[in-house]
Chains A and B, each alone.
Chain A
Amino acid sequence: MHKESEIRDPLILGNKSYHDITKDIAFPVEGKANKYWWILFSLSLVLFLWGVVSMAYTIGTGIGAWGLNKTVNWAWDITNFVWWIGIGHAGTLISAVLLLFRQKWRMSINRSAEAMTIFGVAQAALFPLIHMGRPWLAYYVFPIPNQFGSLWVNFNSPLLWDVFAISTYFSVSVVFWYIGLIPDFAMLRDRMSAKTAPLKKQLYSFLSFGWSGKAKHWQRFEEVSLVLAGLATPLVFSVHSIVSMDFATSIIPGWHTTIFPPYFVLGALFSGFAMVETLLIIMRKVVNMEAYITIKHIEYMNIIILLTGSLVGTAYITELFMSWYSGVEFEQYAFLNRATGPYWWAYAIMMTCNVLTPQLYWFSSIRKSFIATFILSIFVNIGMWFERFVIIVTSLHRDYLPSAWTMFSPTFIDIGIYLGTIGFFFVLFLLYARTFPVIAQAELKSIVKSSGSEYKNKK
């Protein structure tokens, strides 16, 4: 039986009993949506539709609808791709890595964090698809001989590594998520009465795969969760490392950098946690989870953000130093141009949002404030988007031959697609919040006795 130091603050407030937890988790599913939910949902839906139109237009007319040119062949598309993938990482980290480290506080947030991962990765996966000149031939990237003869894919290409990494990451995340969901679906199933809500009852019995909570099943359940966590952990690090190799293995100054894999992974966790905070702070209000998502959780995450933020900052400095130390004029110019060239403002935004603002978390007052955290988490999200923009565009727009140097500016289609994915993401997330058990209640119940406020206060 798990014991916990009494000094630790309770992770569950309001003296919840097992039954209370059941009620609370089931509430958003059984109850009606409040007005916050509807406002957010309709807003996201509008954005999503704008995105759909923009994508349709792109596929209809050609990539020329974007602001790209002969020198800058990637810009917002891949920026968004990397950004979304990065966001996904926090979910896996919370559910897998923290599980391996036996971090109990993860239990109230891992379900939603994983949901975020899955929805985030889904957005990311869109971009490699639509950024293709001929998306209807996308199946060429799978190792199947093509109809013009036995043409195969090229396993040397980092883009192909991406294909495998992302599909693996996505599907494994889904499985991991679902294995954990089964007992909770069973809980919902058993609450539904066949009379009042026959449809829901059927739905959840279908989803719960006939779970009944036998001792042997629980034993396997724990082992499988542990192994999946063990697999997901290296996976999450590999995915962003591979994404970073799209750049690191190229020969473009500013891309060709060996520190990219760790640097990208850190950045990913950084932005991921920020997005988790953004979402949870909204969610705890929208579906009344204040008791389970406490300031304690937020503070823990803020500490991680402070850490990763500082590490990312170190990476930026290292990059600058290496470019100078390399003595290669192309490298030196690439970074000089980043900081002082036509895109200096993007670099400035990146530095401010990613390196400076997280330092505010040294103050516990800010660290322990929902409002401050919410604002700062938005800052971090913006900063990390600009990090990718800076890496991609400022490296490309002035590379080796000055004769080819040019600039990039987005079109409405670029913007539309980006906002569209944000809309899509929130549509998915809000639907999830109304139909899924947003907290891993089964797991949570197992710590009530040790981390619930009631028991803390008794002692």
Chain B
Amino acid sequence: MSKNTLYGIFDCELVLLAAVKEVRANKIEIKEVYSPFPIHGLDKALGLKETRMAITAFIYGCIGLSLAALMIYNIMIIDWPQNIGGKPNFTFYHNMPAFIPIMFECTVLFAAHLMSITYLIRNGLYPGAASDCPDPRTTDDKFLMEIEVEGDLAALKAMLTKNGATEINEKDA
């Protein structure tokens, strides 16, 4: 039996949110939701996992910090220790105060950039990538719920309409 994909299109994020809850309450799997702007609580409603972007940022930051420290240690203390303004060049610890600004900057540099790159990769976003959104209006003012169903379409359509879908399209797989 063929698998169908239903697109329920909504006009208002609040209606959509309610609909999502309703649909999932009926044990129906929602494949994806497309919206023009972030809708608070939608991820919960869809039962999406917490994202781990923040954790990656923390890790990258630590990498940045240690790389900076290593670089400075090697340059100022190991490779060519110089008497600069009579400031001690014997140990990293002694000069540390002068190095803090750059170590901080490197931390931020790594955290911010690597996290953003990870973000793009995880989302599969890259220059020139094609959008796989079924309906272009979702970047404007429409909210789209994508459901993959086998079997009774009519019931589902009825439910979506009941829940405020202004328009329902279906696509044969």
Contacts and interface: CB of A to CB of B under 8 A. Distances in A.
Given A187-B139, A190-B140, A231 B131 contact: no
Interface residues of B, number: 64
A452 to B, nearest CB: 13
Given A171-B109, A210-B124, A224-B115, A442 B131 contact: no
A31 B124 CA distance: 32
Contact of B101 (A165, A171, A187, A210): A165
A17 interface: yes
A227 B46 contact: no
A217 B139 contact: no
A409 B108 CA distance: 40
A154 to B, nearest CB: 6
Interface stretch (B21-29, B35-43, B151-159, B164-172): B35-43
Contacts of A232: 112
A189 interface: yes
Contacts of A445: 36-37, 141
29 contacts: A19-B140, A22-B141, A161-B105, A164-B102, A165-B101, A171-B109, A172-B113, A175-B112, A187-B139, A189-B131, A190-B140, A205-B128, A205-B131, A206-B127, A209-B126, A210-B128, A215-B32, A216-B43, A216-B51, A217-B125, A218-B39, A219-B48, A221-B119, A223-B53, A224-B119, A234-B108, A442-B36, A446-B37, A446-B40
Contacts of B13: 449
Contact of A179 (B34, B116, B138): B116
A217 B72 CA distance: 38
A231 B35 contact: no
Given A1-B40, A210-B126, A217-B123, A183 B139 contact: yes
A256 interface: no
B81 to A, nearest CB: 10
Contacts of A153: 75
Contacts of B131: 186, 189-190, 205, 208, 210-212
A209 B127 contact: yes
B128 A206 contact: yes
Contact of A223 (B54, B76, B125): B54
Given A164-B106, A208-B131, A220 B123 contact: yes
Interface of A: 1-2, 17-19, 22, 143, 150-156, 160-161, 164-165, 167-168, 171-172, 175-176, 179, 182-183, 186-187, 189-191, 205-224, 226-228, 231-232, 234-235, 238, 242, 245, 442-443, 445-446, 449
Contacts of B162: none
A216 B140 contact: no
Interface of B: 13-14, 32-43, 46, 48, 51, 53-54, 57, 71-72, 75-76, 79-80, 84-85, 87, 95, 98-99, 101-102, 104-106, 108-109, 111-113, 115-116, 119-120, 122-133, 136-141
B84 A214 contact: no
A89 to B, nearest CB: 15
B101 to A, nearest CB: 4
Contacts of A234: 104, 108
> Which of A161, A171, A226 is most buried by chain B, counting CB atoms within 10 A of its CB?
A161
A215 B101 CA distance: 39
B40 A214 contact: no
Contacts of A2: 40
Contacts of B127: 206-207, 209
A234 B131 CA distance: 35
A154 B120 CA distance: 36
Contacts of B85: 156
A213 B36 contact: yes
Contacts of A223: 51, 53-54
A213 B109 contact: no
A242 B101 CA distance: 7
B135 to A, nearest CB: 9
A296 B138 CA distance: 30
B46 A215 contact: yes
Question: Would you list the 8 A-B pairs with minimal beta carbon distance, nearest first?
Answer: A210-B129, A18-B141, A212-B133, A190-B136, A209-B125, A218-B38, A187-B139, A164-B105
Contacts of A446: 37-40
A222 B116 contact: no
Nearest to B138: A213
B117 to A, nearest CB: 9
B38 A210 contact: no
B102 to A, nearest CB: 5
Contact of A219 (B43, B79, B84): B43
Given A19-B141, A152-B79, A155-B75, A220 B125 contact: no
A65 to B, nearest CB: 31
Contacts of A186: 131, 139
A22 B126 contact: no
Nearest to A210: B129
A155 B101 CA distance: 10
Contact of B35 (A152, A156, A182, A218): A218
Nearest to A448: B37
Contacts of A161: 101-102, 105
A92 B32 CA distance: 34
Q: Which of A211, A215, A223 has most B Cβ within 10 Å?
A: A215
A187 B125 contact: no
B112 to A, nearest CB: 4
Contacts of A179: 116, 119
A48 B108 CA distance: 33
A439 B57 CA distance: 27
Contact of A215 (B35, B122, B124): B35
Contacts of B53: 220, 223-224, 227
Given A18-B140, A205-B131, 7 more contacts: A1-B41, A2-B40, A155-B75, A190-B140, A191-B140, A446-B39, A449-B13
